[in-house]
Amino acid sequence: MQKKLYKLLEFNKQFVQDEQYEPMITDGHPNEGLLILSCMDARLVELAHRSLGLKNGDVKFLKNAGAQIQSDDDSIMGSILVGTYALGCEEVVIMGHTDCGFGKLKPEVMFDAMKEKGITDELIQSLDYDFDNMFTGFSVTEDNVRKNVEKVRNHPLFNKEIPVHGVIIDSKTGEVTLIDDGYKQ
C-alpha cells in the first residue's frame, strides 16, 4: 500500500523551503467575519473557497459529513458558538451541496462495512449511540440545509443578532444558490 502521508510530507518540505506560504500569511481572525459549515466532500476542497472569492484567512470553515448539526451539544454547534462569541464571526452560512454522498447514506451500509472488518452485531447493539442520527442521510438537500439553519437559529445559546444563511453549492460548477436569507429573519 502506498503510504499517502509520506507523499504529503515530501511535498511539504519543498513547500516550506520555497516559502510558498508567503502569500497566505494572515492571523486567525476571519477577515470577512464569516463562519461557513459545509460538507467534507472532496470536490469542495478548493471549489467552495474559490467560487466565493475567499482567500486564506477570510473565514472560519467547518466541515463534516453532510454539513450536519447532529445535536445541540455536538462539536459543530460548539464550534459555531465559539466562532460567533469568541473568534470574530458575525454571520453564519450553512452550505449544502449537490449530489452529497452523505445524503444517500443509510445505517445498514455502515453496519455492513463494519461487520466486514470484524465488528460484531453484539458490539454495535451494546453501544448507546444514536446511529440513526449519525448515519442516516437525507433525501432533499434543500430541506436538510433549512433544518440545520433552524437548528443554529433556535439554539438556546446562539446570539440571535447574528444572521444565519442557507446556501447550496453545485459540486461541479461552484454555482451557489441562496435558499435561506438570514437578513430577512
Give the residue ranges of the annotated binding site for Zn(2+): 39, 41, 97, 100
Is position 68 an interface residue for Zn ion (rule: CB under 5 A)? no
Query: Site for Zn ion (CB under 5 A): which residue of 100, 149, 162, 167?
Result: 100
Residues of each annotated binding site: 39, 41, 97, 100
Question: H helices of 117-180, where?
Answer: 121-126, 131-135, 141-153
Which residue in the block uniquely carries the three cell numbers 466541515? 63
User: Considering only 9-17, 28-36, 101-109, 136-144, which stretch makes contact with Zn ion by CB under 5 A?
Assistant: 101-109
User: Closer to Zn ion at the Cβ: 52 or 162?
Assistant: 52
Q: Where are the beta strands (DSSP E) in 8-104?
A: 34-39, 59-64, 91-97
* Nearest distance, CB of residue 41 and Zn ion, angstroms: 4
* Nearest distance, CB of residue 121 and Zn ion, angstroms: 28
User: Closer to Zn ion at the Cβ: 93 or 100?
Assistant: 100
Phi-psi region of 56 (alpha: psi -120 to 50; beta: other; left: phi over 0): beta
Is position 169 an interface residue for Zn ion (rule: CB under 5 A)? no
Cα–Cα distance, 105 to 120 (Å, whole number): 20
* Nearest distance, CB of residue 97 and Zn ion, angstroms: 6
Task: Name the residue type at position 78.
Answer: G
Cα–Cα distance, 179 to 55 (Å, whole number): 24
From the number of C-beta atoms within 10 Å of its C-beta (0-12, 13-18, 19+), residue 161 rates as exposed
* Nearest distance, CB of residue 126 and Zn ion, angstroms: 30
Which residue in the block uniquely carries the three cell numbers 500569511? 25
Query: Site for Zn ion (CB under 5 A): which residue of 39, 162, 164, 169?
Result: 39
* Nearest distance, CB of residue 39 and Zn ion, angstroms: 3
User: Closer to Zn ion at the Cβ: 145 or 162?
Assistant: 145
Give residues in contact with Zn ion (CB under 5 A).
39, 41, 100, 102
